[in-house]
């Protein structure tokens, strides 16, 4: 089993894989998946790990979207947490889940081109997987994310997103939760709701506003052309999204991805959903969580390389201001 170790200085956790790789095993350059033998394409279902769930075409065995266990999971569903100390250090077993969320049977379609109906199925699959996994009391956090393009860590050329369920709340999420909690304790308002009303009032960083969502470049973005999509209705947990909101999210999500592609000539990107940690087994682990956190999607085009300065300081340099980035994205058709 892989092992989780806690960083005693920064408080985050890392995973150490059980089979240590030798230096020569790291690819010098990215190995592209062979397009002619894609294991995520329809027809090769027998060769993948057993499907967890899928949304099928009505009256057919053919799937629209499906969730599979990862081929090389870092986190494993079986076993207990085995929390223990080792001298001054903390560790535990890497209990959790890794899933591949296949977004389409069509190998070459891009998310922004798959059409609203299909995008709704993808978002519905995201919601269903979080709703299912939050029942497991060993799991504290479920992160859904996408890597698009090799510079963004993409490993399959077939359209897919990924899911990681972890037995600890990841450090970055914890920091966001803690800051939101402090803001709420001080002002008795959700910081994200305040951000939305401020951004919509100013308008200069807004890319698009729909009935239920706002998309904007954050004031202190870490990456140029970083975009957030956030629901206007206060809600801490993504899985509480309503049917009408799923449709609206599908629309605005595809629009923003199209705008990024057009403005930046098909950039590699990552996106992820930040939602509340699992609350089912500890509904009241802090009583304001439902009020002080607000789920959102962050989209990060990978345009610059992270340098020693960013790694060493956590201080990011933006070559394009969020105001200008939003202007470019608003203007592109
Ligand atoms: Zn494929
Ligand atoms: Zn809010
Ligand atoms: Zn966030």
Q: How many CB atoms lie within 10 A of CB 309?
A: 11
Least confidently predicted of 88-92, 261-265, 284-288: 284-288
Per-residue model confidence (pLDDT) at position 70? 93
**Joined tokens for residue 73:** 């999971």
Distance between CA 209 and CA 251 in Å, rounded?
Answer: 11
Distance 166 CA to ligand 1 centre (A): 28
101-136 pLDDT per residue, tens? 999 999 999 999 999 999 999 999 999 999 999 999
Distance 11 CA to ligand 3 centre (A): 18
Beta-bridge partner residues of 206: 216
Distance between CA 290 and CA 193 in Å, rounded?
Answer: 13
What's CA 131's distance to the chain center, in Å? 15
Residue whose tokens read 């087994």: 281
CATH topology classification for 33-73+96-331: HIT family, subunit A (3.30.428)
Considering every ligand atom shown, identify the ligand nearest to the alpha carbon of residue 292 and give its number. Answer: 2
Distance 72 CA to ligand 1 centre (A): 18
Distance 230 CA to ligand 2 centre (A): 9
Q: How does the average pLDDT of the chain come out, rounded? A: 90
**Joined tokens for residue 49:** 């790990």
Cβ partners under 8 Å of residue 309, min gap 6: 315, 317
Distance 236 CA to ligand 3 centre (A): 12
Per-residue model confidence (pLDDT) at position 27? 61
Distance between CA 198 and CA 200 in Å, rounded?
Answer: 6
The pTM score is 0.91
Which of the pair, 21 or 41, is modelled with greater confidence? 41
Ion ligand 1: residues, CB < 5 A: 38, 40-41, 107, 158
Considering every ligand atom shown, identify the ligand nearest to the alpha carbon of residue 197 and give its number. Answer: 2
What's CA 151's distance to the chain center, in Å? 16
Considering every ligand atom shown, identify the ligand nearest to the alpha carbon of residue 293 and give its number. Answer: 2
Distance between CA 289 and CA 267 in Å, rounded?
Answer: 35
Per-residue model confidence (pLDDT) at position 133? 95
């Amino acid at each position: 089993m892989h092992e989780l170790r806690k960083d005693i200085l920064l408080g985050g956790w890392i995973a150490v894989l059980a089979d240590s790789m030798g230096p020569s095993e790291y690819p010098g350059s990215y190995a592209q998946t062979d397009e002619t033998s894609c294991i995520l394409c329809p027809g090769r279902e027998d060769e993948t790990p057993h499907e967890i769930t899928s949304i099928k075409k009505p009256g057919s065995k053919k799937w629209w979207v499906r969730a599979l266990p990862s081929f090389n999971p870092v986190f494993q569903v079986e076993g207990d947490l085995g929390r223990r100390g080792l001298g001054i250090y903390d560790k535990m077993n890497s209990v959790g889940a890794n899933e591949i969320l296949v977004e389409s049977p069509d190998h070459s379609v891009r998310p922004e081109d798959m059409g609203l109906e299909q995008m709704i199925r993808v978002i519905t699959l995201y919601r269903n997987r979080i709703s299912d996994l939050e029942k497991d009391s060993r799991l504290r956090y479920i992160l859904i994310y996408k890597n698009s393009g090799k510079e963004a860590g993409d490993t399959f050329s077939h359209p897919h997103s990924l899911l990681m369920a972890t037995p600890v709340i990841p450090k970055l999420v914890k920091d966001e939760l803690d800051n939101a909690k402090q803001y709420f304790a001080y002002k008795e308002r959700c910081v994200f709701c305040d951000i939305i009303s401020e951004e919509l009032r100013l308008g200069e960083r807004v890319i698009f506003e729909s009935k239920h969502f706002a998309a904007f470049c954050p004031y202190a973005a870490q990456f140029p052309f970083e975009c957030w999509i956030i629901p206007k209705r206060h809600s801490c947990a993504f899985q509480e999204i309503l049917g009408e909101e799923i449709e609206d999210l599908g629309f605005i999500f595809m629009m923003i991805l199209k705008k990024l592609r057009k403005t930046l000539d098909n950039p590699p990107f990552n996106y992820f959903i930040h939602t509340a940690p699992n609350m089912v087994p500890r509904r009241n682990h802090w009583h304001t969580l439902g009020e002080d956190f607000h789920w959102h999607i962050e989209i990060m085009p990978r345009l610059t390389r992270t340098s020693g300065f960013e790694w060493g300081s956590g201080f990011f340099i933006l070559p394009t201001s969020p105001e200008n980035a939003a202007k470019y994205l608003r203007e592109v058709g």
